[in-house]
Amino acid sequence: MRRKGMMALALSFALLAGCGSMEKETVGEGENIAREESAQGESSLKASTDDHVLADTAAGVADGVGTIETQEISMQEPLSGEEIQKEEEAPIDWTTAEHNVNGRKLPVYCVETQEKKVALTFDAAWGNEDTPRLLEILENHGLHVTFFMTGGWVENYPEDVKAILAAGHDLGNHSENHKNMSQLSDEEKKEEIMKVHDKVKELTGYDMFLFRPPYGDYDNATIDVLKDCGYYPIQWDVDSLDWQNKGADAILQTVLEHKNLGNGSIILCHNGAEYTAEALDALITALEEEGYTIVPLSELLYKDHYYLNHEGRQIQDQG
C-alpha cells in the first residue's frame, strides 16, 4: 500500500510571477507545514497551508515556504561520482554570483535563456514506491533530471541514491531533517546542509552542490551559509502540485497550462506523490511536443558571472 504521508494540502497563496510570464505579482505570506513522525518512525507531513508556495519576491515580501524491490537500471558503463562531476571541477568564482536584490537575498527560481529548455526536479523526502518506475521512464526518454534528497531518505534508500547517480541524474541536497531553514542558527543551517552532503559523498563519491530548502523557506542567512558551503540555492517557478494527489491529469494540466512555464523554468515534482509516476511519461511527451528540451539543473544553471532579478530569475552577466 502507498504511504499515507502524502496528503492533499490546502492551497492558500498568490503565485509569484515567474519565468514564463513577466507579469509582476506578490506572494502572500504562507504558514509552515508541521512535520511529524509516524508510529513507524517514517516521515509524514501535516499541512496547515501549502508548503510549496513560492516563498516571496525580492520587493520586500516577508519570508515564506515502505520498502520496495529496487529495480536495476541497465547501463553499459555506469559513471562514477567523480566522472559525472568532471565538468564541475573548474573553480567557481563565487564573487561573481550575485543573489542580492534590493537587500533581499534570493535563491534561483528560474533561468534566463533564449533556449527552449526546462529543468525537471523531484524532491525525495518520504516514500520510495515509484522511484524505480520514474528512473525507467526517464531512461526510456533518454533524459536526465535532478533529485533533491533528505538525509533520512538517503539513509533509508542508499541503493536508490546510487541508482539515480549511475543513471546520470543530478543529486541535490534537501537538508538533513527537512526543517525550516530560516528558523535555524547559522551553525544549525550548516549542519543541515553538510550532514547529508557528507552521507552522499561517503556513499557515492559525489559532492552535491544544489540545495532546495524544505518548504521553500529561507532567509538571507540561508543564502549566505549555502554560498559558504559551495551550494547554489534552488527554488522553482512551476509547481506541479502533484503532492495534492488529484490525479495524473491534474498534474499535466497544472504544469502545461502554468502561467510561468517558459524558457528556463524549474518544475517541481515529488518522487513520493501518488500520481507522479503515472503522469511522467505523458508530461515529458507533452513538454517535448511543445518544443522544450528537458535538462538537469546542472546544465540549466549559470555557474558564475550571473545576477538575479526580483523574480529570482538567474541572468548571465554579460559585462
Cite the active site residues: 123, 270
Angle at 279 between CA 275 and CA 281, to 5 degrees: 145
Rounded CA gap, 14 and 19, in Å?
16
Here the cell at position 126 is 518520504
Q: Is 152 within 8 Å of 125 (Cβ atoms)?
A: yes
